[in-house]
Structure 1
Amino acid sequence: MSDPIRLGLIGTGLAVEKLHWPALRQMPDRYVVTAFADTSPEQAARFAGYSGVDPARHHTDHRDLLARDDVDAVLVSVPIPLLYGIARDALEAGKHLLCEKPTGTDAEQAEAFLAFEREFPDRVVLIAENYFYRDDIRHARALLDDGAIGKLHLMAYRRAGQMVPRAGRFNSTPWRRKPQYRGGVHLDAGVHDIAQIRMLCGDAIAVHGAVQWANSTIDSPSDLALNLTFASGAIGNYTACYSEVPVPPEPNDMRLYGTEGVLVLSGPEHERRVTLTRADGTTRTDVFRGIDNGYYAELCDFADAVRHGGPVVGTIAQSAANMRIVLAALDSAEQGGVVALDPTADGGVPLWRPRGAEGLFDGLPGERECSKE
């Protein structure tokens, strides 16, 4: 296949506007949007306005879009409780599927998502976990694979900030403020952090979690403190706080302590940093600007799998494994004890590289620079 993939969008809300469309518009050689579906006429008109896609290609019912012959694949970006049903409709209609995370609302629905891999083996399915594709995280993973810090023995990861509804932001949507899925913000946003943990530390085999409900603007736990034991023998702690009150500036970084060095992932979205401190005290800092947090690379992986065959990194199984840790943390908090987990059958998250490229970043947007001391 050399022609662009004919893509249908199901849901055109904030995730499409702020995350997926900025990447899609840079990829006319890979994708052309031939139809879009949204139950909101206002939202559909907004999408048509900023994207330039013909408003006549809009459908209010996603099943009408799935019936079109000029749609090869769909991007499903709808509220979490709707993901499973629409994903099934798309696969039954013969479409390849790029679906927002997580894989459902609870453990039962995650298992139903996993059944898609057996039921529809000829379809490409990618669950949109952009952290698997983020340049700074992949760079850190490559350093770890090369033995840059020796054997990892401790992980510390902290995320804290204010979360109150503000217009135009993800936390303003009613379905997020009163979630109909277990764990609320920790199953929605938190699975990204778990993806980063699994990318860099491997699979967890035991978790011990505690939660607090300290934010009246969201109907879910606001705080999660989680201790983890990894299959490698390393241990770690993850702390997430979604506060109702303003929070002083926080590092919000991940630190990985090894027998021969320390690796730190830090910085805001517009300037990610990966700093390696070696046993001799020398440091190397790689700075990533304008890298789009992995959405472009994610779309590359999906397009290559549709065009050329082969697996994707963001499989249903990988997304379900992220979700499983969050759900186990909630189980642990309720039971007051350690919850054991089985490692993933395929040995963890593979490191994605651009197809046919020699380096990690060939052909990807953004700027990267390295300094040494």
Structure 2
Amino acid sequence: MAAPAIPPIRLGLIGTGLAVEKLHWPALRTLTDRFALTAFTDSSAEQGRRFAAYSGTDPARATADRAALLARDDVDAVLISVPIPHLYEVARDALAAGKDVFCEKPTGVDAEQAEDFLVLAAGHPDRTFMVGENYFYRDDLRYTRALLDSGAIGRPHLMAWRHAGQSVPRPGGFTSTPWRQRPQYRGGVHLDFGVHHIAQIRLLCGDVARVHGAVQTANSTIDGPSDLTLNLVFTGGAIGNYTASFPEIPVPPEPNDMRLYGTEGVLVLAGSDAERRVTRSSPDATTHTTVFRGIDNGYRAELADFADAVQFGLRPVGSVAQSVANAMVVQRALDSAEQAAALTLAPVPGAGAVPLWRPRGSTGLFDGLPGQRSSSTASFAA
């Protein structure tokens, strides 16, 4: 006899802004076997109406506020997508109400609140509490991690990554939100967006043992530093440099690629959201390039991981501890810049090396996931 079907998780949305519209809802609508949206709320009634319109959700599922939503018996779990300064308080209330929680990143406004997130998670061991980090689930990054784990480039010894791109308020974009232009959280764009880059670095290079950072302010449209350069020493012995610049003036096209140098090869990660490329170079000057198209950059996979944690008791990759570990690299980088000194990072309890996520029940990396992959071989020998 076939096992009975597991009913979908009854989900409530707290906040229905840009992150839900552009990132989470497109993923949720492909996971109707895992989630059933039963309620939503937004501090902006206009935004709530907009969500109901574009998602096709019955407007009657709107609630007056989060307290009303959290009091509902037909909500098992919540997806929290509110401005960064409010993430902690909303997550706290949701856990207290007995809900499982998928919370937007980062874990708090500063190092002290990151610690509060750890304490909050420890206080609710019976609940799934996950912080979104789609970079842990991106197909190209997981593929790269698998190559590294297999020894494809030998012992990694150097990471180099420069990311630069104009950042000015644009209607309909994330930079248009006032709370991002005048952030009430330490680090501004480097905590909000840059924490994704730190997640990528930790996924591929391991935990960071020491940082030496410097910052500059060169963008009048946002408060806080626009530039960050960071020298890194990893616990595995490799070293690296990460530089991120978000100026207000247009900049020439930048490669924005990440390079990982090993004793037996080099990996280069490049491309856009629409087409990501991973190129492995061998000592004989042969290059093997895998191109990823049509992937959703991990949003569907992270929600599937959350559902697996709620329904099957699996430990999610995107744990609170892993998110805190990402955020603490940013916070210690800012400390380093202020003190003009190299600083160590204490291990985050419960974090450690980021696990490599695979679809549940699969030994492959891409089973059941959207997107296409193609490979080619070339040579850069003279």
Interval containing the TM-score (normalised by the shorter chain): over 0.9
- TM-superposed deviation, 1:60: 3.0
Q: Deviations over 1:147-188 (max 9, x none)?
A: 000001100011100000010000000000000000000000
Partner Cα separation in structure 1 for residue 214 and residue 358 of structure 2: 36
Q: Within 5 A, what are the aligned runs for 1:38-117?
A: 38-117=42-121
Name the stretch that deviates more: 252-261 or 281-290: 281-290
- Cα root mean square deviation, aligned: 0.9
Q: 2:356 aligns with which of 345, 351, 360?
A: 351
Partner Cα separation in structure 1 for residue 122 and residue 196 of structure 2: 25
- Which residue type is aligned with residue 361 of structure 1? F
Q: 1:198 aligns with which of 197, 202, 227?
A: 202
Q: Which residue of 2 aligns with 1:370?
A: 375
- TM-superposed deviation, 1:56: 1.0
TM-score by length of 1: 0.99
- Which residue type is aligned with residue 104 of structure 2? E
- TM-superposed deviation, 1:49: 0.3
Partners of 2:77 and 2:100 within 8 A in 1: yes
TM-score by length of 2: 0.96
Q: Deviations over 1:95-114 (max 9, x none)?
A: 00000000000111101100
Whether 2:322 is the aligned partner of 1:318: answer yes
Q: Which residue of 1 aligns with 2:185?
A: 181
Partner Cα separation in structure 2 for residue 127 and residue 118 of structure 1: 14
Flag structure 2 segments of 5+ consecutive residues without an equivalent: none
- TM-superposed deviation, 1:372: 2.0
Partner Cα separation in structure 2 for residue 125 and residue 287 of structure 1: 33
Q: Which residue of 1 aligns with 2:258?
A: 254
Q: Which residue of 2 aligns with 1:337?
A: 341
Partners of 2:324 and 2:348 within 8 A in 1: no
SS at 1:293's partner residue?
Answer: coil
Partner Cα separation in structure 2 for residue 279 and residue 64 of structure 1: 62
- TM-superposed deviation, 1:116: 2.1
Q: Within 5 A, what are the aligned runs for 1:122-201?
A: 122-201=126-205
- TM-superposed deviation, 1:52: 1.1
- Which residue type is aligned with residue 298 of structure 2? G
Q: Deviations over 1:249-289 (max 9, x none)?
A: 00011000000000011001100011000112111111111
Equivalent pairs, count: 373
Partners of 1:203 and 1:344 within 8 A in 2: no
Partners of 2:231 and 2:241 within 8 A in 1: yes
- Which residue type is aligned with residue 351 of structure 1? L
- Which residue type is aligned with residue 279 of structure 2? T
Flag structure 1 segments of 5+ consecutive residues without an equivalent: none
Q: Which residue of 1 aligns with 2:23?
A: 19
Partner Cα separation in structure 2 for residue 104 and residue 295 of structure 1: 21
